[in-house]
Every structure is written in structure tokens, then in C-alpha cells.
Amino acid sequence: MSSASIDKRIGYVFDSLMEAHRGGMGHPERPSRIRSIHQRLGERGLLERVKNVAGRPATDEELFLVHPQVHVDRVMQFEEEGVLKSALDGGEDSEGPYNPSTEDEGEENYVVTARPEKSYIFPFGADTYVCKESPMAAKLSAGCVLSLIEEIMDEDSPVDRGFACVRPPGHHATTSEAMGFCLFNNVAIAAEALRQRYGLQRVAVVDWDVHHGNGTCEIFAEDPTVLVISNRIAGRGLAGWEEERAPDELGYLLGS
């Protein structure tokens, strides 16, 4: 069997529409996070050697697998005309620490475009911004992960593993709260879909990040069928979440 045919067992999903989710200059959760990964994979010829899976937005019903309607509605309201401007005019913005004057902080090979007025707000705390396109991008982020697991679970597909290059991320989003750059918990939604749609009785989520995946842990804290392993870096400024070391969390949460 050739290496090319073996590689077709790997699925890959990406959609540039997720780049429309953007905030101010210097924010670490910016379009280039996925753009640079996608471009690098293309430069190395890897995109030609995998099965490219078409992404799609998650439906409301799929978001409801994890999030209550009140949370979904709160995120989705910002795509409606006038809601963002009304929030800005009404002082509902929790001002973030990032400069609103540019699109992509002057990254090499990209044009810096001045913005005549602020086009995003921080309604979920000082680090989690929303622009008019954010709800669309968040649904697409979750839907792309779902598309990938659908391909993997398809008995007629050779794909048995994959990589979803998506944003905004999801592991900080709890059942009913957006935070830490995350609006919907895409991984938790995918895990629930695997259980409810495909009947998997046990699911493992391995979270590898600088920060603890508090949202995913909270969502499955009382669920013995889902194992969440959250690996994070330890060090200055990363003291972790209080529940990471709580005695009664033993069994589904481990500290750093």
C-alpha cells in the first residue's frame, strides 16, 4: 500500500470564513492562527495527501447538545443588524486590553487597515471579543468538527482519524458561559454527538493547551462515560483553576 493511500485515512477540515471572527490589534485569538497553519500545510504538500472534508455550520439543535438555548441566543444575537452598535452605544462592552485600530497587528505580508470605528465588543469579559461575524464563525467552528467526526464514523469512508483547523476555540466555554476566547465548546459538542448520534458508550477528550480546559471539564464533570484529560503548562501567571486541585474533583480532574 502506498504512503499516499495510507494518508487518505486522515481527514482534514478548514474553512476560511472562520477568519471573519476578529478583534483588535494584538489579540492572540486572531485569524492568522488558523491561516498560518493551513498555509504551512499547503506549502509542505500535505493537503494533497489527506482527505479534505467539507465543513458546515453547526445547527442550533447540535449546539443544544451541550449549551442551553439562553446561551446560544446570547451569542447569536450579535449577528443581527444593530445589536453590536446598540451594545457599544449603551456601554455594555467590557473593554478589552487590545488596540482596535488594525485588523491583524501588522503581521508580515499582510496589509494593516485602519478602522474608522470599533466593530467589536467584549461582552463576555476582558479577553473574549465578539464582532458581527463571530456567531457565524463559532457555529462553523463547531460544525467543522462535527463534519470531521461524521466522516470518521462513515463506514464507507477510509478516514479513521483527522485534524480540524478551526477557530474560535472551545475548551474554556462552559455549559452556559463564554470565556477565554471561546463561545461554543466545539469538542464537547462533538463528544456528545458521538454518544447520542452514534451510540458510543465511552469517549475520551485529551486537552493539550497552555491553559486548563475548564469548560470541557465542567461540562462532563458528572458524566462517568466521558474521560477528560487536561494537560496545561505550569509556571508564572498560570496558577490554574481552583477546582484542579480540589479533593472532591479526584477521578476526573488532575492538577498540573
Closest-CA residue to 181 (of 35, 28, 73, 18):
28
Q: Which residues of 216-250 are buried (b: 16+ CB within 10 A; e: fewer)?
A: bbbbbeeeeebebebebeeeeeeebbeebeeeebe
Q: 159, 174, 200: which is the final residue of a domain?
A: 200
pLDDT at 243: 53
Structural domains counted in the chain: 2
Quick one: average pLDDT of 28-47? 94
Q: pLDDT by residue (tens digit) across 193-232?
A: 999 999 999 999 999 888 889 999 999 999 999 999 988 7
Instruction: Write the CATH number for 193.
Output: 3.40.800.20
Q: pLDDT category, 37, cuts 50, 70, 90?
A: very high
Do 150 and 184 have their domain in common? yes
Radius of gyration from C-alpha coordinates of the chain? 19
Q: 13 is in which domain, residue-wise?
A: 3-200
Do 147 and 224 have their domain in common? no
pLDDT at 7: 66
Taking the C-alpha atoms of residue 154 and residue 186, their distance in angstroms, rounded to an integer, is 20
Q: 161, 179, 200: which is the final residue of a domain?
A: 200
Helix segments in 44-116, DSSP class H = 60-63, 69-76, 83-89
pLDDT at 242: 53
Q: pLDDT category, 247, cuts 50, 70, 90?
A: very low
Taking the C-alpha atoms of residue 226 and residue 221, their distance in angstroms, rounded to an integer, is 9
Do 32 and 120 have their domain in common? yes
Do 167 and 56 have their domain in common? yes
Do 105 and 216 have their domain in common? no
Does residue 171 have a pLDDT over 90?
A: yes
Do 166 and 210 have their domain in common? no
Do 58 and 138 have their domain in common? yes
Do 122 and 196 have their domain in common? yes
Q: Which of 27, 171, 172, 212 is catalytic?
A: 172
The reply to whether the predicted model has a pTM over 0.85 is: no
Higher pLDDT, 52 or 6: 52
Q: 184, 200, 216: which is the final residue of a domain?
A: 200
Quick one: average pLDDT of 150-174? 97
Do 167 and 51 have their domain in common? yes
User: Known catalytic residue: 71?
Assistant: no
Q: pLDDT by residue (tens digit) across 85-127?
A: 777 766 555 545 444 434 444 343 333 334 446 688 999 988 9
Quick one: average pLDDT of 32-50? 95
pLDDT at 28: 87
Do 136 and 239 have their domain in common? no
Q: Which residue has the cell 461582552?
A: 123
Residue 31 near residue 104, CB atoms below 8 Å: yes
Closest-CA residue to 114 (of 104, 126, 122):
104
> For the ranges 27-36, 80-89, 105-114, 127-136, which has the lowest average pLDDT?
105-114
Do 115 and 186 have their domain in common? yes
Residue 129 near residue 120, CB atoms below 8 Å: yes
pLDDT at 92: 55
Taking the C-alpha atoms of residue 174 and residue 236, their distance in angstroms, rounded to an integer, is 25
Do 125 and 210 have their domain in common? no
Residue 199, CA atoms < 13 Å, CB-side half-sphere: 0
